[in-house]
Amino acid sequence: MASMMFTDCSSSTAAARLLPLSRGRLRSDCSSIFIRRFVGSHPMCTNSLRTTVHSASSSSHVIKATMSTESSAKVIDGKAVAEQIRDEITAEVSRMKDEIGVVPGLAVILVGDRKDSATYVRNKKKACDSVGITSFEARLPEDSSEHEVLKFISGYNDDPSIHGILVQLPLPSHMNEQNILNAVSIEKDVDGFHPLNIGRLAMRGRDPLFVPCTPKGCIELLHRYGIDIKGKRAVVIGRSNIVGMPAALLLQREDATVSIVHSRTKNPENIIKQADIIIAAVGQPNMVRGSWIKPGAVVIDVGINPVEDAKSRRGYRLVGDVCYEEACKVASAITPVPGGVGPMTIAMLLSNTLSSAKRAHNFQ
């Protein structure tokens, strides 16, 4: 189903097939304190938006945006927010090193030779380097045994210079993902996928040590743009373990009234239309149409889907799960794809690694 791509969301009948980039669709990966001014606009929304990111030392991180055209949505600029967060992390990493001589460390385990996974791991290493976090990497051949992977995890669990462990998914099919993820110490589970962390996220009165990076990034965007969550009706489209389900739990923890739409939901439009906040994490290009969105709703589009584009040098471009050109006329604020949630995921991974190191060394 995911390989059926709409090339143009202004026409619901215009469907075209795109050769899968990897296993049927482009899988995105789940697994900044300056006062700066920037223009956040999206080519499909003709209005331009002037946005100011306030410094961390000011009373809040809230980003104020003013519109040059009243009829269109504010663009929630994930790239700029992620940059701001990375600057904040850089400052904290350096303060930690100066004050207690500790540098946060992140270990990544990559099994097999999938090109997309190798790219994600490379990007994570680059991101660590850019903020001063030390990265460690274990590359194991595709035919490694589960036992070998578990040995690496156990070594990293015991290594005090490592504060975060990430197993790059997907693992080769002969491995039991559950066994492997469960082996990561919950104190170092920076991906937030350990069942104990997810369980704590779901329970009232309990706090997870880590929250999965992509949903955490979605909520951080809402916070930094000063969007109220409490008492709002929120709809999460998708219920995957890595995005939809934790996103719904996070919204609920923030006192939203949450509905989850999935592939068996009847009349999803009617449910989505009631939402003040929509988080779409489906993997279906342009599925959510403008007419499904309540005027003034806030839209966070997690989807990253390749669609054919003869005009692009690569022959394709990336679109979200929401039909941007329709939605930006109805919503009050919206994340673009690319440049919305995507950059937040790695920023949250760095943030989780820093928090882990701080917690391990009781550094405030």
191 is known as an active-site residue: yes
For residues 6-35, which are near ligand NAP according to CB under 6 A?
A: 27-28, 30
Any catalytic annotation for residue 124?
A: yes
Chain-centroid distance of CA 108 in Å reads: 18
Minimum CB–partner distance for residue 25 and ligand NAP (Å): 7
- Which of the following is catalytic: 168, 216, 232, 284? 168
Closest CB to ligand NAP belongs to which residue? 240
Least separation in angstroms between CB 338 and ligand NAP? 9
Contact assessment for residue 336 and residue 75, using Cβ atoms and an 8 Å cutoff: yes
Site for ligand NAP in 190-249 (CB under 6 A): 214, 237-240, 242-244
Distance from C-alpha of 344 to C-alpha of 318, rounded to nearest angstrom: 17
Cα-based torsion angle of the residue sequence 223, 225, 231, 232 in order, rounded to the nearest 10 degrees:
-120
- Least CB distance to ligand NAP at residue 317 (A): 14
What are the start-end ranges of the E strands in the chain? Answer: 4-6, 15-17, 36-39, 49-53, 64-67, 74-75, 105-111, 134-140, 164-167, 233-237, 257-261, 277-280, 298-301, 305-308, 316-319, 333-334
CB of 111 to ligand NAP, least distance (A): 19
167 near ligand NAP, judged by CB under 6 A: no
C-alpha closest to that of 32 among 60, 7, 56, 63: 56
Out of 305, 351, 355, 356, the residue judged to bind ligand NAP by CB under 6 A: 305
Is position 288 an interface residue for ligand NAP (rule: CB under 6 A)? no
Q: Count the residues of the shown chain that bind ligand NAP, applying the rule CB under 6 A.
A: 29
Which of 115, 204, 230, 264 is the binder for ligand NAP (CB under 6 A)?
264
Report the C-alpha gap between 203 and 189 in whole angstroms.
18
Q: At what angle do helices 78-100 and 213-224 cross, to 10 degrees?
A: 100
User: Quick check: bond before 306 cis, omega within 30?
Assistant: no
The residue range among 68-76, 83-91, 227-235, 277-285 that interacts with ligand NAP, by the rule CB under 6 A, is: 277-285
| Residue 341 binds ligand NAP (CB under 6 A) | yes
- Residue numbers at the binding site for ligand NAP (CB under 6 A): 27-28, 30, 214, 237-240, 242-244, 261-265, 268, 281-284, 287, 302-305, 341-342, 345
Question: Which residues are tagged catalytic?
Answer: 124, 168, 191
